[in-house]
Structure 1
Amino acid sequence: MGTAEIAGTAGIAGNTQLVEVVLPGVVEPEGLQLRHREVPAPGTGQIVVRVEATGVSFAEQQMRRARYYDQPPFPFVPGYDLVGTVLTAGQGVAPGLVGKRVASLVKVGGWASHVVLDAADAVEVPAGVGAVEAETLVVNGITAWQMLHRRAKVRRGGTILVHGANGGVGTVLVQLARAAGLHVIGTASVRHHDALRDLGVTPVDYRAEDVPARVRELAPGGVDAVFDHLGGRSVIDSWRLLAPGGTLVSYGSATTRDDSGSKQWPVLKILGRVWLWNALPNGRHAYFFNVWEGRALNKNRFRARLSADLTQVFQALQRGEVSAHVAARLPLTRAAEALRLAESGTVAGKVVLIPDTGDGASAAPAQ
């Protein structure tokens, strides 16, 4: 599906009303609700950001099913990341930050016209990088960069396997890997193969091919790293495809999205396998990647690392090593449509929401 047209306006400058999308419980996308309230004032160390772009990630797809590992209780405002302009700042914040475009990883709360953040959680977006471009690279870029460069650390000339190479994280990951001089095998449905070839990726059709067998044909000695967001049986196959000294980075359980039962159990099973595999004397390594790892233990270190890594991703964008793949751009009031589109599996790249003042709301008013 091609890029959708932007409906409404690209911001709400001059409007003092905060508009946000509420996820009230386990609902279909059309069950999302709109809520209006006054824009709050920032507290000490905080900023108010007028959101210019926020994204639809796999996390929201899991959250609406109550399947995300540590989501908050309903109701809440979803939205994993955002990009916007700082409108006001509280005491203790450098006054020069007002008027700057910033990005932030928030986990929830991003689907809104205005968001209050701790200033320390904002990362400046370089001049010349647009809000929508930057938005495609916040959670996706951080995840891809840290998995590739902080976990796998594959040497130039190595070969990696990326599951879901056409997805939000996958698209960024394969580009960063190619820029690092790596050979990339990527799984995707056949409709995305030409686009992957254009990125220098060897595509594998996960629907029509035996993926492990095909990967062994392409890399008889095994691959140096596998990046697996699928979980379930796939993570076991991924481990077995590693070359000696290889690294498995598991970062999700997408195959269990529509399952019932405990939302923690699929992750706990992966964690158990990771622990067991790392205890084996075979020279291979396994990780379950969580972008929030270390935040509870050392918030300042976490923030510094996130800022440094996201800055690296933005610089890669400026150098042309990474491009912003936008699947669709839709106004905040059409969040239901955006979520439905993201869940369809028919798009490549990221579905981006842009706050607007249009009246064509696809979400029901909050009670």
Structure 2
Amino acid sequence: MNTFATARPATTTRVVLPGLVEPDGLEVGTHPLAAPGRGQLLVAVEATGVSFAEQSMRRGRYFGQPEFPFTPGYDLVGRVIEVGPGGDTAMLGRRVATMTKTGAWAAHAVVEARDSIPVPDGVTSEDAETVVVNGVTAWQMLHRSARVKSGQTILVFGANGGVGGILIQLARLHGVHVIGAASPRHHEALRAEGVAPVDYADPELAARVRELAPHGVDAVFDNVGGEMTKTAFSLLARGGKLVTYSIITAVSGDGPLMLPFVKAIGQALLWSALPNGRSATFYDLWAGHRMRPATFRRHLESDLGRVLALLEDGTISANIAARFPLVEVVAALRLAESRTLNGKVILLP
């Protein structure tokens, strides 16, 4: 019998994004705390983080983000202090990792039970936070989207980022050769990880990659978009696959947001139909969340569970760039947006 019990606080600390503001426009305040509904959990947040998604939402540049004002925070790790009506009381007192999309930048959060996975006792909340969305994304792109095999070679854009760093570790563990595209400031760290680095801004990028992989690469993981995606596809070997998982060029701009995504998906479909043995896809972390909830949950439980197990036994490591108290979110966001980091910025409520 689970004897864990704690009183629900009447209020909690929460970060609010009020509109299109600079980082110092974020508001940290005390807000009423609602009870969890059916299928939900109330979690005392122990760690959350800053990702490119929140940086995009600050600019109003994240596709499908809610109307202002709202609390950002794409994922969290925390302890369950209350379950909704009819919920599994065995979850009380357990730590969970939850994909939230928004709402995680708070001391307490009401989350969906179906998007929450138990965290092993041997993994700290801070370390687990680095692999929630990033780990699921990396695992699924490598093993479900591209189906990369041992001995093959891949090209990873954003190699120093949260997704890229985990993707590299998973690929190396799988016996895959990795070429990592990143700013030169990160090349030494990439070499230490067994990665062949290239400068993503080098006009001769394609030539550099072909020197390292004369017959082409077996998969490319692209978060840049635009003209870079065309270059990436041209670098594929026969049978290779391009996986686009973001379009930084569009998100960082100021033009229409939907059109670049529609074009990217259409381009992937067109390329995949060509008789050249190469294919392309646009990876969507939330695909099937509404239409195939059982399958989505099964994949989330399996894939995040595997990544957390690898983290627990030390096979892969968490890459934390910096830690900040939640109330210092302005400084944390500024640092994350500086693009100078290797790893993830963690917020600690």
Q: TM-score range by the shorter chain?
A: over 0.9
- Aligned twin of 2:84: 90
How far the C-alpha of 1:91 sits from its partner, in A, is: 2.4
Q: Are 1:348 and 2:342 counterparts? A: yes
How far the C-alpha of 1:281 sits from its partner, in A, is: 1.2
Please list the CA deviations of residues 251-302 of structure 1 after superposition, one character each: whole Å capped at 9, or x if unmatched: 1111233311211122112112111101111111101001001112111221
- Aligned twin of 1:222: 216
Match of 2:55 among 52, 61, 81: 61
Once the two structures are overlaid, the 10-residue window that deviates more, 285-294 or 248-257, is 248-257
Q: Contact 2:8–2:81 at 8 Å: present in 1 too?
A: no
Distance in 1 of aligned mates of 2:38 and 2:265: 38
Distance in 1 of aligned mates of 2:265 and 2:219: 18
Distance in 2 of aligned mates of 1:50 and 1:234: 41
Once the two structures are overlaid, the 10-residue window that deviates more, 133-142 or 258-267, is 258-267
Q: Are 1:295 and 2:289 counterparts? A: yes
How far the C-alpha of 1:208 sits from its partner, in A, is: 4.5
Match of 2:240 among 231, 246, 262: 246
- Aligned twin of 2:75: 81
- Aligned twin of 1:273: 267
Distance in 1 of aligned mates of 2:22 and 2:251: 14
Please list the CA deviations of residues 203-259 of structure 1 after superposition, one character each: whole Å capped at 9, or x if unmatched: 112234621110011001000000000011111000000000000000111123331
Distance in 1 of aligned mates of 2:295 and 2:200: 39
SS at match of 1:60: helix
AA of the residue aligned to 2:163: V
Q: Contact 2:9–2:33 at 8 Å: present in 1 too?
A: no
Match of 2:198 among 186, 194, 204: 204
How far the C-alpha of 1:14 sits from its partner, in A, is: 8.9
Please list the CA deviations of residues 113-165 of structure 1 after superposition, one character each: whole Å capped at 9, or x if unmatched: 11112222210001110000000000110100000000111111000000111
- Aligned twin of 1:362: none
SS at match of 1:196: helix
AA of the residue aligned to 1:346: T
- Aligned twin of 1:235: 229
AA of the residue aligned to 1:286: A
Matched residues, number = 343
How far the C-alpha of 1:103 sits from its partner, in A, is: 0.4
Distance in 1 of aligned mates of 2:12 and 2:329: 16
RMSD: 1.4
Distance in 2 of aligned mates of 1:320 and 1:285: 34
How far the C-alpha of 1:15 sits from its partner, in A, is: 5.8
Q: Contact 1:176–1:321 at 8 Å: present in 2 too?
A: no
How far the C-alpha of 1:175 sits from its partner, in A, is: 0.4
- Aligned twin of 1:332: 326
Q: Are 1:130 and 2:124 counterparts? A: yes
How far the C-alpha of 1:306 sits from its partner, in A, is: 0.7
Q: Contact 1:227–1:249 at 8 Å: present in 2 too?
A: yes
SS at match of 1:34: strand
Q: Are 1:158 and 2:152 counterparts? A: yes
- Flag the 1:166–1:26 CA change in 2: closer, same or farther, 3 A: same
Give percent identity, aligned residues only: 55
Q: Contact 1:66–1:263 at 8 Å: present in 2 too?
A: no
* Higher RCO (Cα < 8 Å, 6 or more apart): 1
